[in-house]
Amino acid sequence: MTGASSGIGRAIAQACAAPGVTLALLGRDRERLIETASICKAAGAIVEIGAIDVRDPAAMHEWLISFDRDQAVDLLIANAGVTGGLSPHSAVETAATSREVLETNIFGVVNTIQPLLGAMIARRAGQIAIVSSIAGFVPVTDAPSYSASKAAILRYGLALRSGLRGHGVKVSVICPGYVATPMAAREIGPRPFEVSAEKAAELILHGLRRDQSVIAFPTFLAFITWLGGVMPDRVRQFTERWFRFDVTDSK
C-alpha cells in the first residue's frame, strides 16, 4: 500500500495488521513509515517498508516487482495522494502545485498498479483498490487540480475493473468524503460529515470485501456531490458556495 505513513493509509494498515499477514508499506516520510510499521508489527504482522516517491516509476517498479516475487500481492492499495488548492487571497493554483498534484495523484497511481498487473493477470487473482475522492464527482473551484486528478483515477479505475473482470482481478475505486487526516487539516473551511481515519478504513475494507465498484462515503454527501457534478453549471456554481475553502502552506 502506498501513502501508508499517516492518515487513511496508516489506519488501513493498522486495521489489516494481524498474525500471518504480510504488509508492504510505502511512503515518502521514512520516520512516519517506521511508526506505522511498528504499530503493525505489534499487532503480529510481518512488515516491509519502502521510502519511495510514487512519482518515481523506476523505483516503484523495482520495489514492487521484488516484493511480489517473494510474496504474491493479494491486495494492492494505491492510496498515496496530495491535496492542492488556493492559498488565502490567491485566485489560482500555482503551476508547481498543479504539477505536484497531477503527477502524484495520477501518475503515482499508474506507477503503483502497472508493475503488478501482469503478475496478477497471470495468477488470475488479486484485488486493486484506488483511492480517489468525492471531489472526483464534481469540479472543485478551490482545488481544480485535485478534483481533476481524482476524476481521472476514478475513470481509470472503473475502466480497469471492466477490463480485468475476465482475468480474475478485482478493482474498486474508493471515494471518501471528509476524513480527519493531516492532509485534510490543511483545508480552512467547512468539512461536513467528517469521519475519523479509523472509520474510513472500516468502511473501505467492508466495501472491498463486498467487491464494490465504487466505495463512496458518507452516503448522503457522496450523493449530493455526485448530483452537483451532473447539475447545469449555473446551478452547480450557486450551490458550491457552501463548500468553499482555502489551503494553508503547512503540510
Distance of alpha carbon 230 from alpha carbon 226, whole angstroms: 7
Domains in the chain: boundaries: 72-247
Q: pLDDT at position 235, please?
A: 66
Distance of alpha carbon 101 from alpha carbon 130, whole angstroms: 16
Q: What percent of the chain is modeled with pLDDT above 70?
A: 88
115 pLDDT more than 90: yes
Backbone angles phi, psi at 168, to 5 degrees: 80, 10
Q: pLDDT at position 251, please?
A: 43
Residue 123 DSSP one-character state: H
Catalytic residue among 146, 178, 217, 243: 146
Distance of alpha carbon 65 from alpha carbon 45, whole angstroms: 21
Decide if 214 contacts 226 (C-beta within 8 A).
Answer: no
Topology (CATH level 3) of domain 72-247? Rossmann fold (3.40.50)
If one compares 245 and 111, the residue with the highest pLDDT of the two is: 111
Decide if 77 contacts 25 (C-beta within 8 A).
Answer: no
CA-angle at 43, arms to 42 and 49, nearest 5°? 70
If one compares 247 and 82, the residue with the highest pLDDT of the two is: 82
- Which pLDDT tens digit goes with each residue over 67-101? 999 999 999 999 999 988 766 667 788 899 999 99
pLDDT band at 140 (very low <50, low <70, confident <90, very high): confident
Residue 146 annotated among the catalytic residues of the structure: yes
Distance of alpha carbon 65 from alpha carbon 59, whole angstroms: 10
46 pLDDT more than 60: yes
User: pTM for the full model?
Assistant: 0.89
**DSSP letters along 170-207, please?**
EEEEEEE--EESTTGGGEES--TT-EEHHHHHHHHHHH
Q: Which three cell numbers stand for residue 139?
A: 469540479
Distance of alpha carbon 23 from alpha carbon 1, whole angstroms: 8
